[in-house]
Amino acid sequence: MAKETLQQIAKRLVAKKKGILAADESTGTMGRRLESINVSSTEENRRAWRELLFTTEEIGQYISGVILYDETIRQQASTGATFVDVLKQAGVGVGIKVDAGTVRLPGSPDELITEGLDGLRQRLNEYRDLGAEFAKWRGVITIGPELPSLYCLRTNAHALARYAALCQEAGLVPIVEPEVLMDGDHGIDRCFEVTELALKVVFQELTDQGVELDGILLKPNMVISGASADDRADARSVAVATVECFKRTVPETVPGIVFLSGGQSDEEATVNLQAINVVPDNGPWEWSFSYGRGLQATPLTIWNGDSANVPAAQNAFRERMQVTSAARDGHLVS
């Protein structure tokens, strides 16, 4: 696919007012989400939940793209239309998670490496033929007393870059996701230090492997205090630190930054996003979102596996989209 087409897709995904819905939970992760509301993780229940999200009215006003899982991109709505067609008819682009999850990093048992490069070229071509326009791969970085190691940063960055190069070869926009986890009691300064180093290593690998940076999107963590830290930094501190960190590390040619919610509550994820978008002189990028739990947690609880609750759950999902869209454009979140 022409470079210009990749650029167009990337820019469309970070259009004003819009962001990305991450509905790419693996079967195991989706199972845990459903178990949290006492719903069994059958294929039908997983399908019904995704249909609830994808058929919500006005989804195309707030969501530019949805990241799917292998099971989901092959499923159909109750009408018989594929989910791919349902989304495209709503004006929403289709993406696909292509990594195979994390395993322990050999030689560093407290760190993780993402698998899935074997056979990736063939899988990307198949997903493109199924209607995907973009893809996602997540690398995981843990903060600890002696972590992360440079070994972990380099191996994950190398995998992210190989994935990104293969995506562009197949005509898909790669979403590059190096996630520095919130787990721990570290302060915001430590998160800044690790995130800065991680991003420098990632972009060096992307450049070394010939990835066109104007045809990717970055899906990072915000620079934020650890989840169990004392006196966690407020939204303004998060915003200022995040913008400064990214100015130091992210090339200006990258079209947009689509933050993950990364364990933040619905409210925290939207308030922090709004604060980032109003920082003066915050760089050339579009600051958007690619939220999973940050959009789904409340409607999932309302749905509770009961078809009678679908309208109320869709209303809650619409409200979450509206609030997050407002935050993405720098409007105050009420």
Residue 219 falls in the annotated catalytic set: yes
CA distance 124 to 24: 15
Q: In this structure, are residues 262 and 222 in contact, taking their beta carbons and an 8 Å threshold?
A: yes
**Residue 64: left (phi > 0), alpha (psi -120 to 50), or beta?**
alpha
Residues 54 and 10: beta-carbon distance below 8 Å: no
Q: Cβ atoms within 10 A of the Cβ of 82, count?
A: 17
Q: What is the DSSP string of 249-301?
A: HS-TT--EEEE--TT--HHHHHHHHHHHHTSTT--SSEEEEEESHHHHHHHHH
Asked if 86 and 65 touch (Cβ cutoff 8 Å), the reply is no
Active-site residue identified among 88, 200, 219, 247: 219
Q: Which residues are catalytic?
A: 219
